[in-house]
Amino acid sequence: MRTESRIYLGVGSFFLLILIVYFLWSKESTGSVLLLASAGLGILPGLYMGWWSRRMRPRLEDVEVVEPLDISGVVGTFPENTIFPFTLGIGAWLTGLAFVFGVWFAVIGMGFVLGAAVAATVESKRASLAEPANRPAPGGDGRLRDR
Amino acid sequence: MTSLLSTEKTGSQVEESHPPGGFYRWITSVDHKVIGKNYMYTALTFMFIAGAMALLIRTQLFNPNGHVVGQQTYNELFTIHGSMMLYLFAGPFAFGGFANYIVPLQIGAPDMAFPRLNNLSYWLFLTGGSTMLLGFFTASGAAAFGWVAYAPLSSNPYSPGPGPDLWIVSIALVGFSGIFTGVNLVTTIFYLRAPGLTMFRMPLFTWSMLVTGILILVAFPVLTAALVMLYADRHFGAHFFSVQGGGVPVMWQNLFWFFGHPEVYILALPFFGIISEVVPVFARKPIFGYRGMVFATLAIAGLSTGVWAHHMFTTGTVLLPFFSALSLLIAVPTGIKVFTWIATIWGGQIRFGVPMLFAMGFIPAFVMGGITGVMLASPPIDFYTHDTYFVVAHFHQVLIATTIFAGFAGIYYWYPKITGRMLSERIGRWNFWITYLGFWVTFMPQYLLGLRGMPRRIAVYSATDGFTFLNRVSTVGAYVMAIGMALFLVNVVRSWRRPVAAEDNPWDGATLEWATSSPPPTHNFHSLPPIRSARPVWDANHPEHSDAAPVIAGGDESAH
Ligand code: HEM
Ligand SMILES: [Cu+2]
């Protein structure tokens, strides 16, 4: 995580440097505001990751020498097929077309977007319940176990 | 559930046990490889459509007072040609196509970090991209204000009708798609690397895509915001960019180029990454100066946000020395990259496969475009050449060098991995040489035309201007290029009809994508080689020439 943090901090500080020179020299506002926003965009996540990198054990992807044992096992859960991004995309597109062809497009579009948002949430909740690690303990209260 | 080392399924995964088929499978798949291929097909289709427009434009300019198309149509053509090439081909082809497909493989990940978001990105790209073309079917035609949409030309009084609005909506949707992909790339590269794959062991293509992702996150939101302001000006009576209401037209240029210049590096960096993969593999040497390459990439990213107004020198409102100096500075890391590639080729045991041909062709083409860029970065020269064909030649040379030559190096390099089939070397060579010849014949005359004063974005010139001969040469070159590009299609069709099976690692590649089958299985890897250097597959295949820490089966002594 340390390298990741440094990349963000490095790029962010560089933007900050350009900002200072640019603002003092030109007093032009549009570019200064944009540079300020960019500097923030670099420095904030950089600080956040740096903060965490000091408080956690190095991750396996950050150590130079890993034991073969470390690289076995589960990486994570990845979904395979779902229709809802497509639905959401169509909804967003129709909503976009509303800006050209009239508000009624947005009515249909937002219907798709909201429907897809709800359905995708339900779907991923189901999928995570189907994971053995998340399955409610037999006889438990049916809630997700803490991990 | 997907585990890296075992393929056993846990029965609990309902979706995995009943994969849907055909069309439904295609639209519902969140596999980064399926989405990456969709992106490539779509972006290449947009490229060929925009290329056809370019031929029309060049045909119009073959004769003085050309009348192939009318003036208004001409403006629509160059606008949509440029917009499609830049927004719908070059960027999405790189970060939606190549990066989506290759980055997870190169870092040993089963998929992107947000597979569903990835799928959504693609649909926003496809629908948004097609929306731009809808403009041609409206009564008042497509947008006609150039890919930069300068205010006040893009405001309602001068560009009325739905065409420009379709353009705005299109770019906004594609912009969101790009932002989502940027988030996805950065997260994937930060959090899904295989154990032992530290940041400074990442392949240079992955590095390029990381930096591109960060640049996308800096640049694209600015464009989206500017588009919202433009739309508000057009329809809600806002006056951000109109003088009458107290607005500032030049502010559009500031906003646009704050996006626009990082954008040109968003388009270039991924392709630099491809060259950095192809060159060492075909020169059979490790890259010369890995860390230097990484820092050059980061330096380009940093500097590229501080140079936007070199596109605005002639507005008279910008700080000339600041922008000129930073623009000249950006040539330094770019130069470092070029020298690194040359130093890698130098003394290598070069194999002239088609990917290497394209990569070596890329270098002089890019250097020519880059040098004229440095010239343009000096205001006295820019005052003279701004808005002439000199600029047109500059950016076409850098863009075609990167997106076409480096892009095709990438296609020929990874096609066996992606499809499990080889492309024909013979057709590939013709593909390269004809396109390459056409490229120089098309664009070198345009520098001269620019120096002689031919303005860009004009539909006709007069016979007495003295532009006729050079324009004809340029048009002929464009047709030659088109023939070369058509040969690529021939090559692809041939590989469908008469497939030649590809091995898993046909080029003796060094990075992790060559450790899996061609094409890779769902979730990419059944097992990974140990990662002890930046070239894990090379270490595994050539232990005698490897400088990685040795691995002892069953336990690692060196770790104790
Ligand atoms: C070596 C570093 C480079 C420098 C110093 C540079 C400099 C410039 C300058 C000063 C202009 C403005 C010319 C004018 O409008 O009067 C320009 C235009 C342009 N450059 Fe570059 N450039 C460089 C590399 C690149 C690269 C790598 C790309 C893309 C791959 C690129 C793409 C463009 C485009 C698209 C335009 C034209 C924009 C338009 O007005 O439509 N440049 N460049
Ligand atoms: Cu620029």
What's the CATH number where B480 sits?
1.20.210.10
Work out the minimum CA distance from B319 to partner chain A, whole angstroms: 6
3-state secondary structure of B378: coil
Residue with tokens 């194999």, as numbered in its chain: B351
**What residue of A is the nearest CA neighbor of B559?**
A65
Residue B169 maps to a domain: yes
Q: What is the Cα–Cα distance from B429 to B417, expressed in whole angstroms?
A: 20
The pTM (predicted TM-score) of the whole model is 0.91
Q: Kindly give the interhelix angle for B204-235 and B99-106, rounded to the nearest 10 degrees.
A: 150
Residue B462 maps to a domain: yes
Residue B1 maps to a domain: no
Residue B559 maps to a domain: no
Q: What is the Cα–Cα distance from B401 to B360, expressed in whole angstroms?
A: 10
Residue B26 maps to a domain: no
Which of B371, B395, B400, B447 is the pocket-test mutation for ligand 1 (most atoms within 8 Å of CB)?
A: B395
Q: Which structure tokens are listed for A123? A: 């779907």
**What residue of B is the nearest CA neighbor of A133?**
B1
- What is the number of domains present in chain B? 1
**Residue A97 CB partners (closer than 8 Å, separation 6+):** A105, A109, B131, B169
CA-CA distances (angstroms) from residue B369 to B394, B398, B437?
5, 5, 16
- Do the Cβ atoms of A85 and B322 come within 8 Å? no
Work out the minimum CA distance from A145 to partner chain B, whole angstroms: 17
> Which of A78, A113, A124, A131 to mutate against chain B (most B CBs within 10 Å)?
A78
Q: Which of residues 173-202 of B touch A (CB under 8 A)?
A: 173, 176, 190, 192-200
Residue B348 maps to a domain: yes
- Do the Cβ atoms of B13 and A130 come within 8 Å? yes
**Phi then psi dihedrals of residue A50, to 5 deg:** -60, -40
Taking the CB of residue B472, how many other CB atoms lie within 10 A of it? 15
Residue B555 maps to a domain: no
3-state secondary structure of B124: helix
3-state secondary structure of B376: helix
Residue B5 maps to a domain: no
DSSP assigned state of B318: S
Q: Which domain holds residue B184?
A: 33-545
- Do the Cβ atoms of B3 and A74 come within 8 Å? yes
Q: Kindly give the interhelix angle for B249-283 and A29-55, rounded to the nearest 10 degrees.
A: 50
Residue type (1 letter), B74? Y
ipTM of the complex: 0.88
**Residue B203 CB partners (closer than 8 Å, separation 6+):** B106, B277, B511, B512, B534
* pLDDT tens over chain B, length 560 residues: 333 333 333 333 333 445 666 788 888 889 999 999 999 999 999 999 999 999 999 999 999 999 999 999 999 999 999 999 999 999 999 999 999 999 999 999 989 999 999 999 999 999 999 999 999 999 989 999 999 999 889 998 899 999 999 999 999 999 999 999 999 999 999 988 988 899 999 999 999 999 999 999 999 999 999 999 999 999 998 999 988 888 899 999 999 999 999 999 999 999 999 999 999 999 998 999 899 999 999 999 999 998 999 999 999 888 899 999 999 999 999 999 999 999 999 988 999 999 999 999 999 999 999 999 999 999 999 999 999 999 999 999 999 999 999 999 999 999 999 999 999 999 999 999 999 999 999 999 999 999 999 999 999 999 999 999 999 999 999 999 999 999 999 999 999 999 998 989 999 999 999 999 989 998 888 888 888 888 888 888 888 877 776 655 444 444 43
> Which of A18, A33, A38 to mutate against chain B (most B CBs within 10 Å)?
A38
Any A CB within 8 A of B29 CB:
yes
CA dihedral B118, B119, B120, B125 (to 10 degrees): 90
Any B CB within 8 A of A99 CB:
yes
SS3 percent helix, strand, coil of chain B, rounded to 5, is 70, 0, 30
- Do the Cβ atoms of B322 and A22 come within 8 Å? yes
- Do the Cβ atoms of B251 and A30 come within 8 Å? yes
Any B CB within 8 A of A85 CB:
yes
